[in-house]
Structure 1
């Protein structure tokens, strides 16, 4: 190894060491960048495919409960202004539910989500038919009939819809948990690899630096010994001139000087 190093100049050795260390650094930075990009994509996926659906589902369930409360209030009041306010709130919340489920349906859904969402929309449509008929009876002041009809026809559909929404919410939470576990394992593996790469870079730098310094110091020691003898008048001293580095050039110059003297 020493002979190989002596066959190149000190400048080349230092440039080679710097280049290899830069390569390790660039590799570490590139892998770190890729990990950050992947982490950003995973976070975006968790937000779009898990957090938002759960928000839409919970908002839909909240609106359903509010619509149910408005319906009961509609059966109990004869005030026209209050009735109109209750009807307006029912329509507003129904539109919000349409938007929530429509947004959910636009995502890249799994087969389970596709089937369960279709079932939820079916139960929602059935519940709205019962809701419309109940409102008609309530607005006609047939509150007892409206309440009986709602309990018999409407509640069943809403309960089934609620079960669908709970199942979808639980599925999203379970998917997010599995995704998070996979991300955690991948992050741990990436950290181990980056630590190994960084440690390898340090060890290689130390080893190669030691070899370079040893080759230089050994050559300088030999040259100094020859120069000392040369200074003492020993013109027969043989300088090591087999390498190609800067120290060898000096040794050759001294050897030529000794030959001319």
Structure 2
């Protein structure tokens, strides 16, 4: 299947250099999920995880994060009860290992775990074709707090593939004072195209068909700018535009 025939993930597949071949085994696993849970796999989720290299591409374009293959989606998760959340009963000495079905109990489909288990991403099964993605820093437990991370699953996939070379090979530019760089953002809005959106406040801008990218992120109240280009000429051109606005 050519990448441009994908309904939700054509640009992500193109950026990843992904051959969008569909895996019959993955499709069968997604069918089993629907039969077991009595829920339809959202169309955007099915389209990506049915690809022979869908899960592998998300792993490749990450920091060695764990991405579930199609046959592990919807699995039961292990947590320890009582949860160590301040409500541990006085008469309980040890935590008891328990199973949790996040699909049936929480309406969530976990699909990605940070490489050290710091956070978990899940799709919210709200009945939409391209559902939102939420993130938890409390593992997958009955009382975990899930925060919005992307309005659409397709945006999350696109953003992670878009971000990967910027994080791995980009150049950080100083932002004086670390305040929100309004002058730089004005330049970017005028001369660059917006990149894939996420709900965590990250700003993405690009030009030259995504061959020049600018990533603005906020960490601990400070703004940071990272730029990346596909070649040295493009990087020099990008820095010449971006760097004066950061001074």
TM-score (norm 1): 0.22
Structure (1/2) with the larger helix percentage: 1
Which structure's relative contact order is higher, taking Cα pairs within 8 Å and 6+ residues apart?
A: 1
